Structure 1
């Protein structure tokens, strides 16, 4: 079941460089288009063969672009639970840079935990941030991402 029209969309503002490199490598391997959507505030030198889409630096601009341009069957990579909660029901296969696939049945819990953490921060309390990005995160992401691309392209 080949889906050669699938596009890979990346929330580039918060994408760790090792993950960015892994996405580029695997998209080249499977001949898929990768689109890194970033705000002008996060501009970095583009990589050959990858399309960089620059949006305004306004809050949520990258998210709005991804919501409006991704389609069912596309692939997205984002750390943003809110964005993932919109893309997943739309039929976009959505990955977190730490290598897990967002699932619709997990969204309510993830969004609630994000809400509680935000409420704590607004009250002046400290909340635990994400753990430092590890080599094991890159390995997990790279393996899961490649496996998923293989399944989409029919190379199981």
Structure 2
């Protein structure tokens, strides 16, 4: 199963996930604190949760199972997913691992401290076609290694 932290997931990435759901017959659940439009599909659904910080993250972690994939750019959520035995994939195609998540958390916390001190750190760069391709390739690798559905 694929869980999507959908509040900030780029539409281009959602489109890749929608096509993959149909092609690979894998369930994709978009979790957000607002309604997210999904195409008509028996493999794709949306789950709206209450507003508030980390509510969608908590719902994803509670419902996911070991081996599930979670699509998120949220580093703390990715760390929780990896700790629970899931796999976390950034919308730019980076698969978070137990080896890389500590470094990513440390960098995120450092940037958070800078922003808290008033330093302008800027936001993420625009999603480029190469990022979409990297995401699609990582998703395809995950789909290929997962056990076949009964």
Provide the TM-score with structure 2 as the length reference: 0.92
Partner of residue 129 from structure 1, selected from 106, 123, 134: 123
- The answer to whether 1:145 aligns with 2:147 is no
**In the TM superposition, what whole-angstrom CA distance separates every residue of 1:65-96 from its partner, at most 9, and x where no partner exists?**
00100010111100000000010121111100
Deviation at 1:112, TM superposition (A): 1.0
RMSD: 1.2
Distance, in Å, in 2 between the alignment partners of 1:64 and 1:44 is 18
1:3 is matched with none
Deviation at 1:62, TM superposition (A): 0.5
CA contact (8 A) 1:30 1:153 kept: no
1:36 is matched with 30
2:102 is matched with 108
- The answer to whether 1:23 aligns with 2:4 is no
2:39 is matched with 47
**Which runs of 5 or more structure 1 residues have no equivalent in the other structure?**
1-6
The aligned length equals 146
**Which runs of 5 or more structure 2 residues have no equivalent in the other structure?**
none
The alignment partner of 1:13 has SS state of: coil
Provide the TM-score with structure 1 as the length reference: 0.89
